[in-house]
Amino acid sequence: MAFISFEGGEGTGKSTQLGLFLGYLESSGIDAIATREPGGAPGAEDIRKLLVEGEPGRWDAITETLLHFAARRDHLARVIEPALARGQWVVSDRFADSTYAYQGFGHGVDLGLIEALYRMVAGDLKPDLTLILDLDVDEGLRRATGRGSGEDRYENMDREFHERIRQGFLAIADAEPDRCKLIDAAGSEGDVQARIIAAAKARFPDALP
């Protein structure tokens, strides 16, 4: 079993690439589930609506952080931890690195506070591999515009916020190179998929063909 997270700013193609990667795992004979944050479990999905819908200024930064961790605890307890205990691979569209990047680097919440909340909610559990999709901020926002999902609260925050997020993800990748692999998200879907599969094979050479 393994726990893999996909991370990145708005419009980097995480959800698309996660779907392609899940297909690759299944074709390789691996029992895997896909999930997402915020969300992934019924209670967490209810909290998701509070976070991704509405006006950008709906919450202050600490309230927003606490909501993310409330959703994360439900997600861990009801989905991630049971799946790993069954021996399944878990592939998540976002995990805690998004909180560090969005609320920490983006909104300026103290990283020590986020770390303390993480230890309380997740303990020592971390993804075995985190794939951080990196893309120019303007291109990412261009791709994200008009998706029509109604989940555009973060997309509607100012460009400077999104640039801080990108720099946050780069800092996270630099700080934990064994866990985090930076993936160039520019180019075709096939190009990006090939980069992701190469990174996964390098991390799990005995499990992936």
Q: What is the pLDDT of residues 155-182, one digit of tens each?
A: 889 999 999 999 999 999 999 999 999 9
What residue ranges define each of the domains in the chain, with the CATH number in brackets? 3-203 (3.40.50.300)
73-88 residues labelled b (16+ CB within 10 A) or e (exposed)? bbbbeebbbebbeeeb
Quote the mean pLDDT of the chain: 96
Long-range pairs, 18-21, Cβ under 8 A, ≥24: 18/91, 18/93, 20/189, 20/193, 20/196, 21/91, 21/193, 21/196, 21/197, 21/200
Q: What is the pLDDT of residues 74-115, one digit of tens each?
A: 999 999 999 999 999 999 999 999 999 999 999 999 999 999
